[in-house]
Structure 1
Amino acid sequence: MSNMFCFQCQQTAGGSACINTGVCGKQPSTSNLQDELVCELIKLAELSKNENKHSAVADRLIIDGLFTTLTNVNFDDNAIKEFMGRVKNEQNKISRPEAEKIQVIDLWDGDTDIVSLRSTLLFGLKGMAAYAHHAMNLGYTDNEVLKWFYKGLCEVNREHSVTEWIELIMELGQVNFKCMELLDKANTESFGNPVPTRVNVDIKKGPFIVVSGHDLNDLSQLLEQTEKTGVNVYTHCEMLPAHGYPELNKYHNLAGNFGTAWQSQQTEFENIPAPVLFTTNCLMPPRPSYKDRIYTTSVVGYDGMVHISGTRAGKKDFTPLIKHAQKLGGYEHDRSMSGINGGHMLTTGFGHNAVLSQAGKIIDAIKAGHIKHIFLVGGCDGAHPGRNYYTEFVKQTPMDTLVLTLACGKYRFNDLDLGEIDGIPRILDMGQCNDSYSAIKVALALADAFNCSINDLPLTLVLSWYEQKAVCILLTLLSLGVRNMYIGPTLPAFMSETVVKYLVENYKLNPITAPEQDMDAILKR
């Protein structure tokens, strides 16, 4: 009997499943509690569906509960148990006797292909929950998206034919497109449309706080509370694109970006003289040299870490974090740091509004032959050795091509200077993985301008994946009919050979090989 079973992320043990301890550091007790939480969320969805109603409390519990079980979010057994208690209380408000009668399917048992398809739907729901969570934190919801969480969880608990599973998975992809559109609206209406912005990776002397994760609302509140305290704030990993938002960049103490992608935190945070706030996923088990400086908030949790809770309205008091920063004092002198390739400046803020404002220029450059191809190279980063593929791939892109990028995978190459084409930087950082909507919107706009489909554009998507948000984005792209994508560094362990074969045959999904080989195949197509 296995201690645990988890195969939801790219780095799962042996490319099959973690059964003793998670590669991410998740313990069997935590993994099993997370599975139990998913089952209780399914019960809550079933009860709500039977009663044909759902409360705002249930909406929040389902979204935050699914997000809690995402990779690298919550390692705190007590926090998960407490959350599960809240879910059961909400079940009891609907109908306790009925809740006890609901049977939840064994998620990981059954025919290999059916388990694969069920897992794909469930992991896609987890990814969409992350996007819905951030939008909800800013006061934005969408009824169709909310209802689909209930539908999706209920369908996970049903038997379906392969065809029906595929239809459900594609439907989820379409609904997630709406969810990403909702999050884009929430971010841009709250903080303004991103504008291209240069960001320094060197660190100034004096007290500072590092903010990781994705939640712009948390960052906004922290910037406001630190504005006159003498404490600088540095983004980390997926928070880098925050610099492009006018309503965040207006704070003079948003000083730059610390470090690179999430998987390097255990070395980059070594003896850091500052506290670090994790607002969402990408937390790794902290090392002794800095574990007393880690703070968590929202759905993030780790046993022994200080957790900053919020009011029902989402207001948070970051005073403990600020005082800790002042006490630690930061570096005594300005500290020179750099990206993976030695660069000291990064550029971000090329959201769909910024790129489409230059659409005429891009279209003219394509028509004139100055831009021969556009690559979207982005997605999650990770520690897998094969991820240097993306650095080499970008280095090999011809000088007459553009590279759009997003998510933390960009840290492999975003400090490279690839020059410009007709005044357009060859690397355009479109933001977080949360901003994938921007890339899709640009692709759709270009297809419209050339009166063709996305698949007819001189555009190729080269994606890296790590966790369930990337899975959800992939399902959205597939549901939009996007073909000939490249994905790596490996295919998901939860996708069976039959499912992979279906995707390869019907969507021309290509596992990455070698940068030179893939580049040659793309440019010859």
Structure 2
Amino acid sequence: MSMFCYQCQETAKNEGCTVRGVCGKDAKVANLQDLLVFVLKGISIYAEKARAEGTDLSAKTAPFIMEGLFATITNANFDAERFENLIKEAFELRAEIKAEFEKAYKDNHGQEFTGSLPEQATWFSDNLNDYYEKSSNVGVLETENVDVRSLRELATYGLKGIAAYGDHARVLGKHKQEIDRFVQKCLAATTDDSLSVDDLVALVMETGEMAVQTMALLDEANTSTYGHPEPTDVNIGVRNNPGILISGHDLKDMEELLEQTAGTGVDVYTHSEMLPANSYPAFKKYDHFVGNYGNSWWHQDKEFKSFNGPILMTTNCITPVKDSYQERIFTTGMAGYPGVKHIADRKEGESKDFSEIIELAKKCESPVQLEEGTIPGGYARNTVMSVADKVIAAVENGDIGRFVVMGGCDGRFKNREYFTDVAKELPEDAVILTAGCAKYRYNKLDLGDIGGIPRVLDAGQCNDSYSLAYIALQLKEAMGVDDINDLPISYDIAWYEQKAVAVLLALLSLGVKGIRLGPTIPAFISDNVLNVLVDKFDIKPVGDVEADVAAIMAGK
């Protein structure tokens, strides 16, 4: 076993990748990711001890910890050199936080701190060879108790999702001290062997509560900066100009790319999770913003080739890069891939410099057309709640029989056709609420509408899943029901990576029960932990399409 990773849905045999990740990362990168998380936990240990002494260092720790965790999510960064540098930075920050803790301790107690600390807070080397040797011995399997391991990893993966959402919000100038403190508290707690299983279950539930707060914060950051998404028929055809394709989730990158390409003769298209950018008012003013090209992330090997122009990956999901577009793809932010040019972070008060991408685009042919027409988007919380009376009336008079939340992620495996089949099988009085790239399994089907309400209401990126929770909570109040589970809403969730874990924990923290989860139950959830989730929240695996649809429409 040269590595061990089971954080994503496609992990080998739904058990764990032990030689090379199904995602494409090699053992070297997988182990360096483990070592980075290991040192981030050390930073968090000192920060929590400092807070106990009255010194709050979360403002110093959270930005780096969030970026570091973000870099380790599935399909974000495959570049070993980037992780070597992040680990060096982590050691530097840990030393700084350690010194501040020790000073606070001495000021309070009149003596040096002499207590014992976990290895995450003490191990150090400035030798890269030591990094690689140590990295193979700090992974998830170092926690021997399978249930403790399961709960620690469930919290950690939820925290990775929180980190991704929190980082996007911070880029737009929004952060919240309570979230920053929780990030370090949660990481430190995963090293504490004195915590019981019940303590860890409570930590997991608190992770869900913080996920709700973080998604709400990101929603505020996006909508206050770019306006509320509007119902939009998004063009999926192409024009004859050269183009740049932008993928991922970072709306600040989207804004700066549009500004810098204005008047250059270069068009801009979105791909995969960047599709919802087409619905923001702030971006609609750009006449060279053409629409969306292609489908979800895993189609990129063929779609990037046919696009002909440069591609900018702002976050996950990047897949192993093919020779056909190796010279045309760029990464930025926490994304990275060996041999691929990386656009540096913006300096204080400045924009990122996309000039190299733009100049390359001018020399490229226009995209090959894959399809034509439009797909609907922009049905986030503000749009849906603006017609809440119409929605409620449609429910009360029987025109809408059920809302089905089918948010989440897409993936490569054939068993994800389940979600397409469910969408087709749902009766005509069912409305699908979606966010995330899972929508590509059904957003181009002709499912029609109910009294002018589209049967697929797309709230946006996985980052926009807060809209789905908000809509449910507002409908609960408007319809006068006591329990969110009494609403005519069912949950059939597709998951792939750690942001989806954060969304799942967020729903559980809101008390949502009866969630169907697929296409598989996460490998990192042990049998005993699964039993707790089943007993408390009635979580269930997806099953036969016809039987599931019948149960969904019956509210079961």
**TM-score normalised to the size of structure 2?**
0.91
Q: What are the equivalent positions in structure 2 for 1:498-509 lying under 5 Å apart?
A: 498-509=528-539
**Mapped partners of 1:183, 1:91: distance in 2:** 28
Does 2:128 correspond to 1:94? no
Counterpart of 1:48 in structure 2 is: 47
1:170 aligns with 2:205: yes
Distance 1:136 1:446 in 2: 30
Q: Is 1:311 the counterpart of 2:346 in the alignment?
A: yes
Deviates more, 1:152-161 or 1:93-102: 93-102
Over the matched positions of the two proteins, sequence identity in percent amounts to 42
Stretch moving more, 244-253 or 93-102:
93-102
Question: Contact between 2:8 and 2:497, CA under 8 Å: does it hold in 1?
Answer: yes
**Contact persistence 2:242–2:366 (CA under 8 A):** yes
How is 1:61-460 mapped onto 2 (pairs within 5 angstroms)? Answer: 61-95=64-98, 102-104=118-120, 107-108=140-141, 109-159=143-193, 160-313=195-348, 315-331=351-367, 335-338=368-371, 344-452=373-481, 453-460=483-490
1:471-515 superposed Cα distances (whole Å, 9 cap, x missing partner)? 111011111110011110000000011111221121111100011
| Residue in structure 2 matching 1:465, options 473, 484, 495 | 495
Superposed CA offset, 1:145-173 (max 9, x none): 00000100011111221111111100110
Distance 1:395 1:378 in 2: 16
Measured after TM superposition, the shift of residue 95 of structure 1 is 3.0
How far, CA to CA, are the matches of 1:100 and 1:23 in structure 2? 39
- How far residue 271 of structure 1 moved from its aligned partner, in angstroms, is 4.9
- 1:300-321 per-residue CA deviation (whole Å, 9 max, x = no partner) reads 0111111001233362010000
CA distance in 2, matches of 1:449, 1:261: 35
Give the match's secondary structure for 2:433.
Answer: strand
Once the 2 structures are TM-superposed, how far is the Cα of residue 444 of structure 1 from its aligned partner?
A: 0.5
1:177 is paired with a residue of what secondary structure? helix
Secondary structure of 1:482 counterpart: coil
Q: Which amino acid aligns with 1:209?
A: I
Unaligned runs of 5+ in 1: none
Give, in angstroms, the shift of residue 449 of structure 1: 1.2
Q: Distance in 1 between matches of 2:49 and 2:196?
A: 23
2-structure distance, mates of 1:272, 1:349: 25
Instruction: Quote how far apart the aligned CAs of 1:58 are.
Output: 2.4
What residue is the counterpart of 2:507 in the other structure?
477
Question: Distance in 1 between the 2:365 and 2:60 partners?
Answer: 41
- Residue 14 of structure 1: how far off its partner (Å): 1.1
- Is contact 1:337-1:344 (8 Å) kept? no
RMSD: 1.6
Number of equivalenced pairs: 517
Aligned-pair CA distance for 1:344: 3.0
In 1, distance between residues paired with 2:554 and 2:430? Answer: 14
Structure 1 contact 344–415 (Cα < 8 Å) conserved? no
Q: Cα distance, 1:100 vs. partner?
A: 11
Do the aligned residues in 1 keep the contact of 2:267 with 2:290 (CA within 8 Å)? yes
Report the secondary structure of 1:428's partner residue. Answer: strand
Q: For residues 417 and 41 of structure 2, what CA distance do their matches in structure 1 show?
A: 39
Q: Distance in 2 between matches of 1:185 and 1:144?
A: 16
**Gaps in structure 2 of 5+ consecutive residues:** 103-112, 121-137
| TM-score, normalization by structure 1 | 0.96
| Aligned-partner Cα distance in 2 for 1:101–1:421 | 60
Q: Distance in 2 between matches of 1:271 and 1:434?
A: 28
What's the CA shift for 1:46? Answer: 1.1
Q: Is residue 2:57 matched to residue 1:36?
A: no
**CA distance in structure 2 between the partners assigned to 1:330 and 1:119 by the alignment:** 45
The one-letter amino acid of 1:107's match is V
Q: Could you tell me how far apart the structure 1 residues matched to 2:162 and 2:39 are?
A: 18
Distance apart, 1:328 and its partner CA: 1.4
Give a deviation string over 1:364-421, Cα, whole Å, max 9, x none. 1111111111111121000111100000101111111211111000001101121111
Distance change (3 Å), C-alpha of 1:199 and 1:100: farther
Q: Kindly provide the amino acid, as one letter, of the partner of residue 131 in structure 1.
A: Y
